[in-house]
């Protein structure tokens, strides 16, 4: 401080302004020119952005002036999250996407708006839907336009996508697997798995593209490249459909199993033995040491940690068990080890056999069963429970910002993550979105969401499903 000029120098002002909230900072900038200059400092807004979001992508601001870019980024992203958190009328648009003449069997984003790289200005997402009418359709979620539609084939049963390679993969009722170019809808390749119902799992390892297919005969078949070249096949559950098929975050492990037999254990497979099989050795595979597998999920920030819902010994209730997966190598052989970390019973007020399980970060599991949504820690503490739906939950979408549940009661419930100083991470119920009238619809069947949109399918009573697209950037 200069005694002849009793004013705070700008560096001191900037330091003081770090203690102000985002609401107070614009007010402070109106006091005088010095305060305005300090409050407009890019470093301040950059600091607030990185404190609030672990990843910020400034390139989405385009040609905005550098000295305003971090402020504009912060204010725009905060405004968008407020709209997504409140769900008020006028804060979003809703489009009905019509065109399918059958049931929608799956939804995927072709060009989404991820939390790591949000487009804060246009926010226009492209999704793709597969239907029992035998067509794949691509849609613009903001204006509801159909971008392309595939030729009619046998009824489709599954769909997945790879945004990075711009590829859509479908399976039909005969087991015919097809890849499609996501921008044009042009067919790239096909492969016959010879199975009426297939589960699809797509993943990339370094620069290599793979698709693992679970068949209704209990096999797991792995294909390489978008041209679908067969690499390997292994049996995991004789005569039962493989309908649990997941890959770990580091792509090192795959879990495969069936929900159709409570006596069969799921199996953990070393991915490399499927993608680069040895002629002399069988794929490296190990049964999980519990019976049955009603739902499973890998923990996102702990790639070798796996949570499974299964029966207890008396089969009167369900248990959630957490395992660590590792590989033990010796001079002559390698073997997979699956070791229990935690296990606790689930107190469920439902007889539903449809369990939906997702994970958030390293210590949070989201479980939907019947009409109830529950949040558990990995040690079994019930962190939150919600019973807002009046009919069973059919689908859930979990990301770093929120959880969206879809139900047969024709509503979507939106909940956001919150961090409590005393209780840690939990969920807070925010609002619901309606999908139409029960006179024409039976309820929601699928839901997906990205950073600025939610898309769900409603089951039409006339057999023609309709998609509902909610966009929070206009």
DSSP per-residue letters across 230-294: EEEEEESSTTS---EEEE-TTSSEEEEE-SS-TTSPPEEEETHHHHS--SSS---EEE-SSS--S
- Both tokens of 435, joined, read 């999908």
Radius of gyration for the chain, computed over Cα atoms and rounded to the nearest angstrom: 25
Q: Helix, strand, or coil here: 142?
A: coil
Q: Residue 15, by phi and psi: left (phi above 0), alpha (psi -120 to 50) or beta?
A: alpha
- Both tokens of 256, joined, read 């495969």
The whole-angstrom distance between residue 404's C-alpha and the CA centroid of its chain comes to 10
pLDDT beneath 70: ranges in the chain = 1-8, 57-68, 115-117, 119-123, 313-316, 350-352, 422-423, 474
C-alpha span between 462 and 440 (Å, rounded): 7
C-alpha span between 397 and 391 (Å, rounded): 18
Q: Helix, strand, or coil here: 458?
A: strand
C-alpha span between 101 and 131 (Å, rounded): 8
C-alpha span between 122 and 207 (Å, rounded): 30
- Going from the N-terminus, what domains does the chain have, and what CATH number goes with each? 10-85 (1.20.1280)
C-alpha span between 159 and 150 (Å, rounded): 13
Q: What letter would DSSP give residue 192? A: E
- Both tokens of 379, joined, read 């040690």
C-alpha span between 240 and 408 (Å, rounded): 28
pTM of the model: 0.88
Count of residues making up the chain: 474
Sort 240 into a burial class: Cβ within 10 Å, 0-12 / 13-18 / 19+.
middle
C-alpha span between 232 and 285 (Å, rounded): 13
C-alpha span between 455 and 471 (Å, rounded): 9
Q: Indicate the Cα dihedral angle 56, 60, 64, 66, nearest 10°.
A: 30
Which pLDDT value is given to residue 409? 94
Estimate the crossing angle of helix 42-52 against helix 10-17, to 10 degrees. Answer: 20
Sort 137 into a burial class: Cβ within 10 Å, 0-12 / 13-18 / 19+.
buried
C-alpha span between 92 and 3 (Å, rounded): 54
C-alpha span between 283 and 97 (Å, rounded): 44
C-alpha span between 121 and 57 (Å, rounded): 13
C-alpha span between 301 and 376 (Å, rounded): 16
Q: From 415, 389, 411, 397, select the one nearest 468 (Cα to Cα).
A: 411
Which pLDDT value is given to residue 95? 92
């Amino acid at each position: 401080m200069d005694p002849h000029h009793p004013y705070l120098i700008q560096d001191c002002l900037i330091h003081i302004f770090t203690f102000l909230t985002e609401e107070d900072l614009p007010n402070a900038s109106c006091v005088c020119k010095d305060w305005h200059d300090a409050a407009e400092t890019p470093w301040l807004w950059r600091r607030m952005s990185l404190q609030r979001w672990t990843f910020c992508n400034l390139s989405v601001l385009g040609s905005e002036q550098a000295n305003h870019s971090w402020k504009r980024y912060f204010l725009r992203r905060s405004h968008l999250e407020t709209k997504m958190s409140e769900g008020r009328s006028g804060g979003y648009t809703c489009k009905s996407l019509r065109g399918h003449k059958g049931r929608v069997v799956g939804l995927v984003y072709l060009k989404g708006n991820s939390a790591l790289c949000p487009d804060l200005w246009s926010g226009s997402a492209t999704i793709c839907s597969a239907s029992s009418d035998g067509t794949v359709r691509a849609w613009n979620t903001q204006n509801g336009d159909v971008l392309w539609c595939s030729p009619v084939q046998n009824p489709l049963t599954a769909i997945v996508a790879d945004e990075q390679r711009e590829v859509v993969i479908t399976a039909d009722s005969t087991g015919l697997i097809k890849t499609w170019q996501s921008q044009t809808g042009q067919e790239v390749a096909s492969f016959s798995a010879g199975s009426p119902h297939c589960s699809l799992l797509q993943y990339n390892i370094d620069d290599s593209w793979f698709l693992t297919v679970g068949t209704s005969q209990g096999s797991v078949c792995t294909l390489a490249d978008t041209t679908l070249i067969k690499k390997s096949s292994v049996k995991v559950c004789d005569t039962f459909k493989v309908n649990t098929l997941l890959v770990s975050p580091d792509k090192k492990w795959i879990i495969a199993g069936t929900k159709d037999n409570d006596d069969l254990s799921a199996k953990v497979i070393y991915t490399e033995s499927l993608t680069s099989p040895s002629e002399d050795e069988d794929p490296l595979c190990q049964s999980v040491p519990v019976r049955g597998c009603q739902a499973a999920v890998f923990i996102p920030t702990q790639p070798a940690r796996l949570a499974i819902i299964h029966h207890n010994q008396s089969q009167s209730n369900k248990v959630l068990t957490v395992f660590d997966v590792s590989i033990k190598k010796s001079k002559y052989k390698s073997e997979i080890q699956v070791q229990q970390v935690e296990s606790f019973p689930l107190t469920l007020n439902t007889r539903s056999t449809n369990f939906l399980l997702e994970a958030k970060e390293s210590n949070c599991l989201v479980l939907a069963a019947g009409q109830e949504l529950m949040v558990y820690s990995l040690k079994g503490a019930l962190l939150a429970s919600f019973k807002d739906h009046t009919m069973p939950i059919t689908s859930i979408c979990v990301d770093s910002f929120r959880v969206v549940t879809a139900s047969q009661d024709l509503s979507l419930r939106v909940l956001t993550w919150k961090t409590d100083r005393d209780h840690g991470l939990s969920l807070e119920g925010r609002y619901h979105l309606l999908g139409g009238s029960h006179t024409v619809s039976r309820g929601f069947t699928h839901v997906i969401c990205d950073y600025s949109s939610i898309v769900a399918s409603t089951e039409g009573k006339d057999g023609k499903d309709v998609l509902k697209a909610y966009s929070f950037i206009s």
